Structure 1
Amino acid sequence: MPEKSWFVLHTYAGFENKVKTALEGLRERGGIEDGIGIVLVPTQNVTEFKEGKKKVSTRKVFPGYVLIEMEPTEEVFHYVKSVPKVTGFLGNKGKPQPMTATEVNELFHRIEEGTAMPAASEQYFEGDSIRITDGPFQGFTGAISGVDSEHGKVRVLVSIFGRQTPVELDFLQIERA
């Protein structure tokens, strides 16, 4: 019996959870219960501003992809590819390529820490030109005069009535100009 490896399965976007459910059902009733291990749709909590209020929502880290631990046998590949909304495996020339142990360890470590997606603090630096997307100064542009990555805030110099005025904003309230 071959040892299980992690593979990346490509699916229709928006159907990742349905594919996961179908694969788990296949594992239980399909006669290949030992061939399929863990099926995972990595998600991450993301804080965003909507209508002036902070909202925490869950987002898929890799939209359109499902991670699956399975035996690398032709029978299991065939069963998995026959699941509706599955388009195939990531790999070289149609041959499924397993993830390396390093890739798997790094991915799970980043998911546990909540850093699977790049943090907004990595995107902004002092001197960057930005546009304010939320709050009372929505639509204004300015330049970043300070970055507080620990608290997720930036200080922006905004021109109000012809004078440069410092405004403190959350990373989620701005975008590059």
Structure 2
Amino acid sequence: MNIQDEEMKDWAIGWYCLRAKPRQEMVASSTLSTLNNVEVFLPRTQRAKKVKPQPLKPLFPGYFFARFDPIEHLRNVHYARGVAYVVRRKGIPVHVSPQVMIELRLISPDGILEIPDEPHRVGAKIKVISGLFKGDEGVVTKLVPARERVRVLFEILGRPTEVEIGEQEVDFPSAHPIGNG
């Protein structure tokens, strides 16, 4: 294999990592899905067992994957709505290993990875996602499983105050595979 063949191998059809513009992963992946011979994979996460459906979040915020021929489609992909750039090394688009893509599809067959909540426990730091205390953070002081409620210690007007609220109003920590999600 000569040097020119080696360089052309780097420009072969394959999976590539793309950087989306801020919070534009869905727009970019939808736009690229309309192109012929371009396959898109945007793995997303969803919290398991929430009463209210939570929005899907990208598994890799700001990044997603596309399979295409860079010789034929690089310009269309790069300038697609929502795409910031194709990840490159020394000016050449970086291949994503087919094995990595297989593994990602195995853990999220429909593109959605369910993230289980960590077991609720006393002492856990939580954030309130709805209700009177929305946006506030506190510490769980007591679990009330029979009523699906928790007691949370908040600092209100400079004083520690214990409040009992429904579990569905609280965002518990999750076991996100890449850290806290």
The TM tier, using the shorter chain, reads: 0.5 to 0.7
The answer for the alignment partner of 1:30 in structure 2 is: none
CA distance in 2, matches of 1:129, 1:42: 27
TM value normalised by structure 1: 0.56
- Measured after TM superposition, the shift of residue 90 of structure 1 is 2.1
The answer for the alignment partner of 1:69 in structure 2 is: 67
The answer for the alignment partner of 2:57 in structure 1 is: 60
The answer for the alignment partner of 1:111 in structure 2 is: 108
CA distance in 1, matches of 2:31, 2:128: 43
1:22 alignment partner AA: T
1:18 alignment partner AA: V
CA distance in 1, matches of 2:20, 2:80: 10
Q: Give a deviation string over 1:87-138, Cα, whole Å, max 9, x none.
A: 211233443211113321221122138874753318x766545566667998
State the superposition RMSD in angstroms. Answer: 4.5
- Contact 2:122–2:142 (8 Å) recurs in 1: yes
CA distance in 1, matches of 2:45, 2:104: 12
Q: Give a deviation string over 1:59-107, Cα, whole Å, max 9, x none.
A: 1323433321112x33322231132332211233443211113321221
SS for the counterpart of 1:120 is: coil
**Distance change >3 Å, CA 168–CA 101, structure 1 → 2:** farther
SS for the counterpart of 1:20 is: helix
CA distance in 2, matches of 1:84, 1:140: 37
- Contact 1:7–1:99 (8 Å) recurs in 2: yes
Q: Which runs of 5+ in 1 are unaligned?
A: 28-35, 159-164
TM value normalised by structure 2: 0.55
CA distance in 2, matches of 1:114, 1:171: 25
CA distance in 2, matches of 1:24, 1:115: 17
- Contact 1:48–1:172 (8 Å) recurs in 2: no
CA distance in 2, matches of 1:59, 1:37: 23
The answer for the alignment partner of 1:31 in structure 2 is: none
Q: Percent of counterpart pairs with the same letter?
A: 18
Q: Which runs of 5+ in 2 are unaligned?
A: 1-7, 154-161, 174-181
Aligned length: 154
Q: 1:7-156, aligned counterparts within 5 Å?
A: 7-27=16-36, 36-46=37-47, 54-61=51-58, 62-71=60-69, 73-112=70-109, 116=113, 118-121=115-118, 127-128=123-124, 141-142=138-139
1:5 alignment partner AA: G
CA distance in 1, matches of 2:65, 2:115: 20
2:24 alignment partner AA: F
